[in-house]
Amino acid sequence: MAIQLYQFAVSHYCEKVRWALDYKGIRYQPVYLLPGNHVSTIRRFTRKTAVPVLVDDQQVIQGSSEIISYLDDTYEDQPLTPAAPDQREQVLAWEQQLDNEAGVAIRCFCYHHLLQRPKAAIPVLAAQTPFYNRWILALTFSRVDEIMREWMKINERTAAKAEQVTTQTLDQLAEVYQKQQWLVGDTFTRADLTAAALYAPMFEPAQYPVPWPKGRHVPKGLLSWRDQNQDKLELLAQRYAIMRDARP
């Protein structure tokens, strides 16, 4: 049975795992789900409803960090975790910070602005799923907006804090990347993968499987932030581009 990855196209945590699988040359079957409607599908495998979820024969692994650890332990080619204990510790510390702080903040910040533009949000949320999901989201968007804001605790106050964390972490990353090519040591690791994947919605790479908002549909709050941080974002976009040749 092929490895299956249950995911949202828009999720930057799912992008982490897509990239890890591609980088390691592991073939898999993507299963794209519509946020909200995904619950019954994911509960077939685990009590928690979060994605990504990787199913590899009888193994079910939930969470991007846990999945990458499983892949490195099970499929040894193209390791993303350093063998040296000191570098391993540094890489995992970066990943934990990025996952728990920057990733959550980026999600809150982006959705706060994106949900104010239904014509931009609907194609992104329904990306890679059957076409009729766009109609469903359009008909129920006010409720979708309410549920997502409640679920992820998104409001003016939390979005302002999220913007601050997103900027501060980007500053930290830029400070390192201006001095050296990779966050830890002299090779690409899961720390760099995490940084580039989680910030990808801010620089919108073409390989990310969603239709990014264009023109007047781009929320002004996001556009303004990108303009102010373009030079630092470019450092992450460069790392993303350097490694994209490893992907199909």
Quickly state the pLDDT bin for 4 (edges 50, 70, 90): very high
Q: Is the pLDDT of residue 248 over 60?
A: no
Quickly state the pLDDT bin for 126 (edges 50, 70, 90): very high
Task: Identify the pLDDT of residue 2.
Answer: 87
Task: Identify the pLDDT of residue 247.
Answer: 61
Question: Which of 74, 103, 120 is the last residue before a domain boundary?
Answer: 74
Least confident interval from 170-179, 211-220, 222-231:
211-220
Task: Identify the pLDDT of residue 1.
Answer: 64
Whether residue 90 is found in the same domain as residue 69: no
Question: What average pLDDT does the structure give for the chain?
Answer: 95
Least confident interval from 22-31, 192-201, 235-244:
235-244
Q: Is the pLDDT of residue 17 over 90?
A: yes
Residue 80 lies in a domain: no
In the chain, how many domains are there?
Answer: 2
**What integer is the mean pLDDT of 19-25?**
94
Q: Is the pLDDT of residue 82 over 80?
A: yes
**What integer is the mean pLDDT of 13-30?**
96
**What integer is the mean pLDDT of 165-171?**
98
**What integer is the mean pLDDT of 43-58?**
94
Question: Which of 52, 74, 96 is the last residue before a domain boundary?
Answer: 74
Sorted by sequence, the CB contacts under 8 Å of residue 187 that are 6+ apart come out as 82
Whether residue 126 is found in the same domain as residue 176: yes
Q: Is the pLDDT of residue 215 over 90?
A: no
Owner of token pair 């040894």: 76
Residue 218 lies in a domain: yes
Domain that holds residue 218: 85-246
- 174-180 — which CB contacts under 8 Å span 24+ positions? 174/231, 174/232, 174/235, 177/235, 177/236, 177/239, 178/235
pTM above 0.85, yes or no: yes
Percentage of the chain beyond pLDDT 70 is 98
Tokens of 60: 């079910």
Number of C-beta neighbours around residue 30 at 10 A: 15
Whether residue 127 is found in the same domain as residue 61: no
User: pLDDT tens, 234-247?
Assistant: 999 999 998 876 66
Whether residue 150 is found in the same domain as residue 236: yes
Percentage of the chain beyond pLDDT 90 is 90
Sorted by sequence, the CB contacts under 8 Å of residue 165 that are 6+ apart come out as 101, 102, 105
Task: Identify the pLDDT of residue 244.
Answer: 74
Residue 79 lies in a domain: no
Task: Identify the pLDDT of residue 216.
Answer: 86
Task: Identify the pLDDT of residue 245.
Answer: 67
Q: Is the pLDDT of residue 144 over 60?
A: yes
Q: How far apart are CA 217 and CA 229, in angstroms?
A: 20
**What integer is the mean pLDDT of 151-174?**
98
